[in-house]
């Protein structure tokens, strides 16, 4: 029987780096938290290096989420890894704001986006809820909070796509993701990541403000 039981010490959530108020912080949780903060802050500033720090972050989070049975979030990291490479390539080809302007969704696109979120969450949530029965050799424990976890994952996927394409609405999705993630990770007792998502929420709010400002600047320049 195969299982992901031999986890390297650095990636083990039980391998403690230090403790804060009796909460043990593992090496992998600390590294994931720091690189995640750097990645989101760089994204808010529209800095291309957000994708590089993101690659380290997703590797750490993949290990963490597998060990705490948040399987939707675990699979999400595989997507994030590919999306980070894609975003890096796209932004490196169009790294000047005037060549790669911030865009907004049309009304029709927003309706399609909402329908995609609802359908994907329902279908994938059902799969994740039953993944331990479909693949028992890989997932010995049932998923925790499968539909909430899946909803967060779906929003994150779509937000990353919008971010890579410099579409303003990515920040609205990230804000919802951050609010839900604070509670979910606290419930799973990965408190450093829960606290990190409070910071992410602040950064996402700043990102929305900053991108709105940049969008308005673009409009003023084009109107001249």
- Model pLDDT for residues 175-186, shown as the tens digit of each residue: 999 999 999 989
SS (H, E, C) 33-45: HHHHHHHHHHHHC
Check whether 158 has a pLDDT greater than 80. Answer: yes
Rounded CA gap, 55 and 26, in Å? 19
- Its pTM stands at 0.74
Give the pLDDT confidence of 67-123 residue by residue, as tens digits. Answer: 888 787 788 889 888 888 888 888 787 655 445 678 899 999 999 999 999 999 999
Q: DSSP character for 16?
A: E
Q: What dihedral do alpha carbons 150, 212, 57, 62 form, nearest 10°?
A: 10
Q: Contact, 189 vs 22, CB < 8 A?
A: no
Element (DSSP H or E) covering residue 26: strand 23-26
Rounded CA gap, 214 and 211, in Å? 5
User: What are the backbone dihedrals phi and psi of residue 29, each rounded to the nearest 5 degrees, phi first?
Assistant: -70, -40
């Amino acid at each position: 029987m195969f299982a992901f039981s031999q986890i390297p010490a650095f990636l083990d959530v039980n391998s403690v780096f230090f403790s804060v108020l009796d909460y043990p912080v593992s090496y992998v949780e600390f590294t994931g938290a720091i690189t995640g903060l750097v990645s989101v802050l760089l994204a808010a500033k529209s800095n291309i290096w957000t994708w590089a720090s993101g690659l380290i972050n997703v590797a750490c989070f993949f290990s963490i989420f597998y060990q705490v049975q948040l399987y939707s979030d675990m699979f999400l990291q595989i997507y994030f890894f590919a999306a980070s490479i894609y975003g890096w390539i796209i932004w490196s080809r169009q790294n000047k704001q005037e060549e790669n302007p911030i865009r907004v969704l049309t009304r029709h696109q927003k309706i399609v986006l909402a329908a995609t979120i609802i359908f994907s969450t329902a279908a994938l949530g059902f799969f994740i809820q039953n993944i331990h029965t479909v693949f028992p050799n890989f997932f010995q424990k049932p998923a925790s909070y499968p539909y909430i976890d899946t909803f967060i994952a779906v929003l994150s996927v779509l937000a990353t796509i919008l971010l890579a394409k410099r579409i303003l609405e990515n920040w609205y999705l990230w804000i919802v993701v951050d609010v839900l993630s604070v509670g979910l990770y606290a419930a799973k007792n990965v408190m450093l990541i829960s606290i990190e998502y409070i910071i992410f929420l602040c950064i996402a709010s700043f990102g929305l403000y900053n991108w709105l400002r940049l969008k308005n600047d673009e409009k003023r320049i084009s109107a001249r």
